[in-house]
């Protein structure tokens, strides 16, 4: 019986190593985010960092990512992050995010847009407002252009 167990052990060890080896392989990476704007926003004593990035999802489609990270120990009022566009149509996600930026927390809002077929340029306006009184806290505008079959951010 012991001899039989010893004969099976190398086969099991080899199968285990193959399984572990394939599980540890590095995954193929997709498109990476390209930074567009980084800023710090203040809201009645609360401070948070805003990073707006983008990446191509397809030749004529881009994903915009708005990340907010609290840098202080105060909570913000209830906020709305809104991504408005011209020359694009939404393909994935929702254009707005509503919530509080809590101390030591990180929030990510993602939304994808396709440039309209009859457009060579598109515009995205990202704004952050207080929900209570609609006060504008921060905003930026991103201009995209179709070049060589790809949609690109205009610097």
Does the pLDDT at position 56 exceed 50? yes
- 99-105: which pairs have CB atoms within 8 A and are 24 or more residues apart? 100/75, 100/76, 101/43, 101/46, 101/48, 101/68, 101/70, 101/75, 101/76, 102/70, 102/75, 103/70, 103/72, 103/73, 103/74, 103/75, 104/70, 104/73, 105/69, 105/70
Q: What is the pLDDT of residue 72?
A: 86
Instruction: Note whether 57 and 31 are within 8 A (CB).
Output: yes
- The C-alpha atoms of residue 67 and residue 88 are separated, in whole angstroms, by 21
Looking at the predicted structure, is the pLDDT value of residue 16 above 80?
no
| Confidence band, pLDDT 50/70/90 cuts, at residue 11 | low
What is the pLDDT averaged over residues 60-66? 97
Domains of the chain: 34-153 (2.60.40.10)
> What is the rounded (10 degree) CA torsion for 140, 146, 151, 153?
-30
Kindly list the strands in the beta sheet with 79-86, ordered across the sheet, starting from the edge strand earlier in the chain.
96-99, 79-86, 121-130, 136-147, 150-153
When computed from its CA atoms, the radius of gyration of the chain, rounded to whole angstroms, is: 23
pLDDT digits (tens, 9 = 90+) for 31-53: 689 999 999 999 999 999 999 99
pLDDT score at 4:
53
pTM score, two decimals?
Answer: 0.79
Average pLDDT, the chain: 87
Return the pLDDT at 21.
47
């Amino acid at each position: 019986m012991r001899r039989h167990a010893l004969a099976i052990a190398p086969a099991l060890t080899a199968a285990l190593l193959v399984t572990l080896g394939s599980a540890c392989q590095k995954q193929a990476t997709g498109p990476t985010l390209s930074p567009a704007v980084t800023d710090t926003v203040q809201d009645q004593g609360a401070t948070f960092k805003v990073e707006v990035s983008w990446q191509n999802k397809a030749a004529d489609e881009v994903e915009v990512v708005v990340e907010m990270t609290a840098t202080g120990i105060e909570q913000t009022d209830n906020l709305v992050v809104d991504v408005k566009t011209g020359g694009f149509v939404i393909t994935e996600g929702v254009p707005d995010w509503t919530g509080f930026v809590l101390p030591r927390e990180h929030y990510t809002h993602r939304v994808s847009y396709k440039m309209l077929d009859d457009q060579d340029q598109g515009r995205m306006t990202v704004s952050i407002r207080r929900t209570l009184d609609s006060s504008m806290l921060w905003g930026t505008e991103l201009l995209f252009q179709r070049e060589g079959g790809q949609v690109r951010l205009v610097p």
